[in-house]
Amino acid sequence: MLKAGKSARRATFLRSSGASLVQRIAPRNATRATAQMHPFFMFARGYHDNAEYGCLSTPRVKAEAYSAEELLNRQTNANLLQLVSAYRRHGHLSSNLDPLGIQKSELLDELSADMYGLEEDSRVFDIKGIISPSKDLPSSASLSAIISALQKTYCRNIAYEFEHIQVQQWFASSVESLGMHDASPRYPRFHELLTKVELFEHFLQKKLPNVKRYGLEGSESIVVLLDQIIYEGAQRGIVDVVAGLSHRGRMSLLATLFGYPIDELLRKLRGGSEFPDDSPYTGDMLVDLAKPASVDYPDIGASVNVDVLWNACHLESGTPVGMGKSRVKDINIARAKKSEEHIIGDHVLPVSVHGDSSFAGQGVVAESLAMSGLAHFTNGGTIHVVINNQIGYTTPASHTRTTRYASDIAKFANIPIIHVNGEHPEELARAAHIAVAYRQKFRKDVVIDVWTFRKRGHNEMDEPSFTQPAMYKAISAHTSAPAKFEEKMVSGGHISQEASAAVKREWLASLNEAFISSDTCVPQDIVKGPRWKLLSSSTSYPVERATGVSIDTLYEVGVKSVAFDASVKVHPRIERFHIKPRLKRLYDGHAVDWATAEALAFGTLLREGYNIRLSGQDVGRGTFSQRHAMFVCQDTERVYVPLNHMSADQQQQQQGRLEVVNSNLCEEAVVGFEYGVAVEDPFTLAIWEAQFGDFYNNSQTILDGYIASGETKWGQQNGLVMLLPHGFDGGGPDHSSCRLERHLMLSNDPVDEHPVALPNVYVAYPSTPAQFFHLMRRQMKRNFRKPLIVAGPKTMLRLASATSMLCEMGPGTRFKPVINDPTITDPRAVKRVMMVSGKLYYDLAKLKSEHPLGEHAAIVRIEELSPFPREELFSVLAQYTNASDFVWVQEEPRNSGVYSFAAPRIKRLLPVHAELRYVGRTEHAATCSGVEAQQAAEHAELTRCAFEGLRGLVADLVIDNINTQHDQQQALDEPVASVISAGVSHRWAGRQIYAAQSSDQ
């Protein structure tokens, strides 16, 4: 587990019999550790610069230094320095990047020696401190030699933009000396990959011409780039790659580079499933396929695992998922290896492939890049590969962005950009070399913008010349990159014509063989990661075990949840209104509030070795200043997380860690990142909390395409928790509702059928702190994982009646999907049963306590909405044998909230001929009124309506009692379990009872 030191961002992993931990570098080792570290990894910035767990911020870059001799030479040859700087800044504008030649390079005066008063003569320049020497440029050179080197470096088939980053000197030196990097030994490998990609595309076009595969034709050299990136990473200690692929070319990359079984791939292309026929999973589109792979490099004795990500079709949505997954994967590998000195990104290299128009157009890209260097989101840097085919579906590049390049969005995040002409595989190898070198040295993102084209339309069924006639005339006359490279390799003596023919012959034979066997092949089942193998598949309703904890443990955790080191000066208001009240409640044995119950849930899970990652805007303090999971020292701004300091040193080594992540102000990328964390590590409780429940809207893409449907499509479980503050309390239409109706619409809990399997998503609206405590603990104590969406509290956070005693969280206790009315003493006296979820219960309970006929109304809380608690609710309703009025009450409009989901399920549980009435706001386009007085008036009216007509129902009960006095007396003398009289028992006859979702076992 990671914990950053004050002066270093290395992690020291301890060896222990239990969980491996990372602790701060001891003072006696601080000097040694600092000396070993690259100076770029030493920084100080705000309250993140301390021992806060999980704080792995990218380094503050120190100013680049020149020697005195170099400085003197720069001053002496200032005009030459200006010329070199112009090439570094503007050289990309004069580069040959477009393989079609449509986008012409520019002739710039800024690149003319005359502009700087330089003339060709016999003079030899000392280039120290001005330009880096290379194989073709000695340390003393003529002007013509210098210009030739600059042209070759900056104005050919590869170009760079790095003037906006902080390490310009390093980057310039690296690219200018790049001529020393020789990739020619790998040319036969490049040729083989290119040949296979081209043949595979031709094969599919011939065999399956009507299948939309979004082929790689025109961009075949991407396979060389990805292979070289992995190869370069392997040479630098990378053992795992997390690869997020785009739609474009996924089939070819899976078949050639990543070793996806060809017969299985062809089975999918021919309309079959990627899973065995008896699999419960529905599968996904061709362009979203994934399967773990291994890429071997015998020449360097390395084998790299490649985790190809499943991808929802929403463009670029997989980018943050890969970021989260790779971060946790790298940490877990370091933990397993007990790495004594670990820098984030040591073991795992994330690679993300994008389309040019989507990279420029999709907001999630900007969100992801913005958080790539943040302390709790960095993964050590992602290499972004843009397949720039210069068109977005049918929209030309000039209409897809306002900038020159598709990659320009990356500049705001200080990310260097490498532009490459995709016709030149050897230049792509150079790009991979510099990109991986930069990433490994500085642990930051880098973008490689590969200029290519699309031989066919957006898919193989399109006619692209409808909208781009000139471009496709050029494409139709263009020789492919694999063909050009083969000719160059043969003429250069790198391979023979016979060897080239043999590659084609053998590959084509294997394709034909796979095509035949694709009819009968049985796809491999899902390959689970090692941590997921410890859990079960969620195929049936589980036995829910108790999640309570001993009272002594709860008390101890509660006290330590607000304890702090003497060196931390806590804000006096926090001490007065948060720490002291919590301690008083615990000392006096009083009921605890919501924030305390949450701290108890987190603290007890940490004690059991689970990690917790709490992410979102303002989560450390809490939106409503209720949580205070972290104390910020008022003198030093040092952060102190009490729950990470609950035990003595020896016990601390066995404890999990709470990572408090105050995220940047975005939703989609952050939720995608947390989903990536959840799918990578099932033993980390990953929680995303919205500032207000409504704000999850911006992450709907992740919720739809990944969280709610990932297991159904891909067999990929996740246990992400989404905490969405919900409640109508005057916050207005955009700060009141977490849109429960939308989350419930995503649930596959059946309306009419018997629920034989668990739903895809759990949705709960708990009304007590104890209920929330059990929800959090249950999420980790189960032997499977499901996403959990919680409509969280707002006003309940400080509501005196919304508290829980420690005994409600004690041994033998568990979450209750349904809570019966605790005030009912005689169920036979109840004529109206109100069903409700969440905070509205407390308003109704208050009115009931004041109503003269309140004893004749029962308020039943449905705490868990998906899966719908059929058996629990039925067992409660069946107690009210004389009830004739069943009501659903909610504060949301009728077209929102829980009603539309719950009503058809409740109706199947009611007595024969009974109806379910609705009490609440009418249909409304907005969530609620923005006028507080109007909202209050509506609330008063709906709660009044909940009790309206109760007098008439009670009168009916009195009349029934008079007419059937003898029968009623007999029933009263019997035990409660058998009070259903003959006159009313028929009302419950024939109702189907669904299987239990919980057990006391």
pLDDT of 481 reads 95
Domain limit, last residue, from 62, 81, 105: 62
Tell me, yes or no, whether 438 and 497 share the same domain. yes
Provide DSSP, 352-402.
EEEEHHHHHH-HHHHHHHHHTTSTTT--S--EEEEEE-SEETTEEGGGT-S
Do 356 and 706 contact (CB within 8 A), yes or no? no
pLDDT at 534 over 50: yes
Q: 472-508: per-residue pLDDT in tens?
A: 999 999 999 999 999 999 999 999 999 999 999 999 9
Tell me, yes or no, whether 513 and 651 share the same domain. no
**Cis peptide upstream of residue 867 (ω within 30 degrees of 0):** yes
Phi, psi of 328 (to 5 degrees): -70, -40
pLDDT at 32 over 90: no
Do the strands 639-640 and 631-632 form a parallel or antiparallel pair, or are they unpaired? antiparallel
Q: Which range, of 535-539, 663-667, 864-868, 914-918, averages the lowest pLDDT? A: 535-539
| SS3 state of residue 698 | helix
Does residue 911 belong to any structural domain of this protein? yes
pLDDT at 69 over 90: yes
Domains identified in the chain, total number:
4
pLDDT of 864 reads 97
Percent of the chain past pLDDT 90, that is, above it, reads 75
Helical ranges in 929-995 per DSSP H:
932-947, 950-963, 965-972, 982-985
Q: What is the mean pLDDT of residues 130-143?
A: 91
Alpha carbon 57 to chain centroid, angstroms: 19
Closest listed residue to residue 937, CA positions, set 730, 636, 669: 730
Tell me, yes or no, whether 203 and 270 share the same domain. yes
Q: What is the mean pLDDT of residues 814-836?
A: 96
Q: How far apart are CA 661 and CA 19, in angstroms?
A: 22
Tokens of 341: 């000195």
pLDDT of 992 reads 36
Domain limit, last residue, from 468, 501, 522: 522
Tell me, yes or no, whether 209 and 296 share the same domain. yes
List Cβ neighbours of 79 (8 Å cut-off, separation of 6 or more).
Answer: 116, 117, 118
pLDDT at 1 over 60: no
Taking each helix axis as running N to C, give the angle between helix 481-491 and helix 187-207, from 0 to 180 degrees, rounded to the nearest 10. Answer: 140
Tell me, yes or no, whether 508 and 614 share the same domain. no
Tell me, yes or no, whether 774 and 875 share the same domain. no
Does residue 102 belong to any structural domain of this protein? no
Q: 605-654: per-residue pLDDT in tens?
A: 999 999 999 999 999 999 999 999 999 999 998 999 999 999 876 566 67
Q: 585-612: per-residue pLDDT in tens?
A: 999 999 999 999 999 999 999 999 999 9
pLDDT of 12 reads 30
Domain limits at 203?
184-522
User: What CATH number is attached to the domain comprising 696?
Assistant: 3.40.50.12470
Q: What is the mean pLDDT of residues 280-299?
A: 93
Tell me, yes or no, whether 305 and 433 share the same domain. yes
pLDDT of 250 reads 95
Q: How far is CA 978 from CA 684, 972, 987, 989, in A?
A: 47, 10, 15, 15
Q: Which range, of 27-41, 176-190, 295-309, 535-549, averages the lowest pLDDT? A: 27-41
Does residue 819 belong to any structural domain of this protein? no
pLDDT at 45 over 50: no
pLDDT of 745 reads 96
Closest listed residue to residue 686, CA positions, set 624, 616, 614, 636: 614
How sure is the predictor about 982, in pLDDT bands with cuts at 50, 70 and 90?
very low
For Cα atoms 943, 945, 949, give the angle at the middle one, nearest 5 degrees: 135
pLDDT of 876 reads 97
pLDDT of 42 reads 33
Q: 414-433: per-residue pLDDT in tens?
A: 999 999 999 999 999 999 99
Tokens of 304: 């790299």
Domain limit, last residue, from 14, 40, 62: 62
Tell me, yes or no, whether 491 and 585 share the same domain. no
pLDDT of 453 reads 95
Q: 797-818: per-residue pLDDT in tens?
A: 999 999 999 999 999 999 999 9
pLDDT of 970 reads 54
Helical ranges in 397-468 per DSSP H:
425-442
Q: 739-788: per-residue pLDDT in tens?
A: 999 999 999 999 987 777 789 999 999 999 999 999 999 999 999 999 99
What secondary structure, in 3-state letters, does 230-256 show? HHHHHHCCCCEEEEECCCCCHHHHHHH
Tell me, yes or no, whether 508 and 580 share the same domain. no
Q: How far is CA 694 from CA 456, 551, 621, 672, 769, in A?
A: 42, 36, 19, 17, 22
pLDDT of 650 reads 53
Does residue 707 belong to any structural domain of this protein? yes
Q: How far apart are CA 352 and CA 366, in angstroms?
A: 14
Tell me, yes or no, whether 466 and 597 share the same domain. no
| SS3 state of residue 891 | strand
Do 276 and 525 contact (CB within 8 A), yes or no? yes
Please give the DSSP secondary-structure letter assigned to residue 738.
-
Does residue 95 belong to any structural domain of this protein? no
Percent of the chain past pLDDT 70, that is, above it, reads 89
Tell me, yes or no, whether 697 and 576 share the same domain. yes
pLDDT of 41 reads 34
pLDDT of 33 reads 34
Does residue 418 belong to any structural domain of this protein? yes
pLDDT of 999 reads 38
User: What CATH number is attached to the domain comprising 891?
Assistant: 3.40.50.11610
Does residue 776 belong to any structural domain of this protein? yes
Q: How far apart are CA 537 and CA 712, in angstroms?
A: 12
Q: How far apart are CA 267 and CA 343, in angstroms?
A: 42
Please name every residue paired with 818 in a beta bridge, in sequence order, or none if there are none. Answer: 862
pLDDT of 954 reads 85
pLDDT of 31 reads 34
* Position with higher pLDDT, 689 vs 730: 689
Q: What is the mean pLDDT of residues 725-735?
A: 87
Handedness of CA 251, 254, 257, 259 (dihedral sign): negative
Quote the radius of gyration of the chain (alpha carbons, Å): 33
441-475 exposure pattern, b = at least 16 Cβ within 10 A, e = fewer: ebbbbbbbbbbbbbbbbbbbeeebeeebeebbeeb
Q: Which range, of 48-62, 397-411, 597-611, 827-841, averages the lowest pLDDT? A: 48-62
Q: How far apart are CA 119 and CA 45, in angstroms?
A: 48
Q: 645-700: per-residue pLDDT in tens?
A: 998 765 666 789 999 999 999 999 999 999 999 999 999 999 999 998 888 889 99
pLDDT of 732 reads 87
User: What CATH number is attached to the domain comprising 228?
Assistant: 3.40.50.970
Does residue 361 belong to any structural domain of this protein? yes
Tell me, yes or no, whether 372 and 450 share the same domain. yes
How sure is the predictor about 169, in pLDDT bands with cuts at 50, 70 and 90?
very high
Place of tokens 């770029």: 40
* Position with higher pLDDT, 673 vs 966: 673
For Cα atoms 287, 290, 296, give the angle at the middle one, nearest 5 degrees: 125
Element housing 267 (H / E): helix 262-269
Closest listed residue to residue 733, CA positions, set 624, 622, 896: 896
Element housing 550 (H / E): none
Q: Please state, rounded to an integer, the average pLDDT across all residues of the chain.
A: 88
* Position with higher pLDDT, 344 vs 14: 344
Place of tokens 């929102």: 896
